């Protein structure tokens, strides 16, 4: 399937990538910054959509990349990195140091993806390895036209990228999906293992940039970025308060337990009100991710009872 391209200004493009999975339309994208002095990608999508991504870049008249940037190494963000590195040889690959070993030798990452995501992970496709010599060096990063922000929470190997008043947040600011109305659908991306304090600190780091233009990993752009981040911060605290009433007992890891809490959060969290406007197949996808985020929160809260002093990553 050909990739759709949305242009937001003269130099900023969102390339929409649709893997062969029901309900995954308008969910995964690669951001292309094609400025007069520097051209780079932020995230590359899964391996299964590498060809449409390359075709879209070529159709935009781009014949070089100065950087290939990964916010984190999950397969829906980084799976095509080996394909892109081969298409644009010599381009420095920007990856969090904790994630670099997994893109150089992705077999463990691939097996973990299959174990966690099953058929969804298989549809993403396996990552091609990245040669260690392709990883961006300190000197290459020193001259980069962007700033890397260490923003763990969604994953321990997460960067956000700040440049010229624009913030590419990956999933550090949650997931914000487009709706057919002006309503908001904003949800946490807090899979196990999740640490609330770590995520809140990362949001504070994002907000310190004062960047009003916020580009989400999932999905699209908001021009009220500081407001969105502030709302998401309060949302995480709301979820903590809601879920703290039940952090012990049998069945916490069960599908029924997570679904029960998803139903309650959909009813009580105003930032999830837009769920009903999502297409039915997208609702199925979102329920799965919401369940995973609930499990992350519950695991965090349970760990506080076991070890209330040390709960940071």
Predicted confidence (pLDDT) per residue in 114-134, tens digit: 998 999 999 999 999 999 999
pTM: 0.93
CA atoms within 13 A on the CB side of 286: 28
pLDDT at 304 (0 to 100): 86
Q: What digits encode the pLDDT tens for the residues 48-66? A: 999 999 999 999 999 999 9
Q: How far, CA to CA in Å, does 109 sit from each of 68, 75, 78, 121, 128?
A: 19, 8, 11, 11, 11
Confidence of residue 254 (pLDDT cuts 50, 70, 90): low
pLDDT at 116 (0 to 100): 87
Mean pLDDT score, 71-98: 97
Domains and their CATH numbers in the chain? 4-227 (3.60.15.10), 236-306 (no CATH)
Position 248 pLDDT exceeds 80: no
Position 311 pLDDT exceeds 80: no
């Amino acid at each position: 399937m050909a990739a759709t391209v949305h242009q937001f200004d003269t130099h900023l493009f969102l390339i929409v990538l649709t893997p062969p999975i029901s309900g995954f339309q308008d969910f995964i994208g690669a951001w292309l910054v094609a400025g007069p002095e520097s051209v780079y990608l932020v995230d590359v999508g899964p391996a299964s959509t590498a060809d449409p991504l390359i075709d879209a870049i070529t159709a935009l008249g781009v014949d070089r990349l100065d950087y290939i940037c990964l916010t984190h190494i999950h397969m829906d963000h980084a799976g095509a990195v080996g394909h892109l590195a081969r298409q644009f040889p010599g381009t420095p690959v920007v990856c969090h140091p904790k994630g670099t070993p997994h893109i150089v030798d992705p077999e463990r990452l691939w097996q973990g993806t299959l174990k966690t995501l099953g058929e969804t992970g298989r549809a993403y496709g396996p990552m091609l390895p990245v040669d260690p010599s392709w990883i961006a060096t300190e000197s290459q990063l020193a001259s980069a036209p962007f700033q890397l922000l260490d923003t763990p929470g969604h994953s321990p190997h997460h960067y956000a990228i700040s440049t010229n008043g624009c913030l590419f947040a990956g999933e550090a600011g949650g997931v914000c999906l487009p709706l057919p109305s002006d309503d908001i659908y904003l949800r946490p991306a807090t899979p196990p293992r999740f640490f609330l304090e770590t995520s809140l600190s990362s949001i504070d780091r994002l907000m310190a940039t004062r960047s009003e233009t916020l580009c989400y990993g999932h999905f699209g752009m908001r021009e009220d970025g500081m407001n969105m981040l502030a709302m998401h911060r309060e949302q995480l605290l709301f979820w903590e308060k809601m879920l703290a009433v039940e952090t012990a007992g049998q069945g916490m890891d069960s599908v029924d337990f997570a679904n029960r809490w998803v139903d309650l959060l959909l009813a009580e969290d105003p930032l999830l009100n837009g769920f009903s406007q999502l297409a039915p197949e997208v609702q199925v996808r979102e329920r799965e991710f919401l369940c995973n985020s609930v499990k992350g929160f519950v695991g965090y809260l349970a760990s506080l009872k076991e070890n209330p002093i040390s709960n940071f990553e």
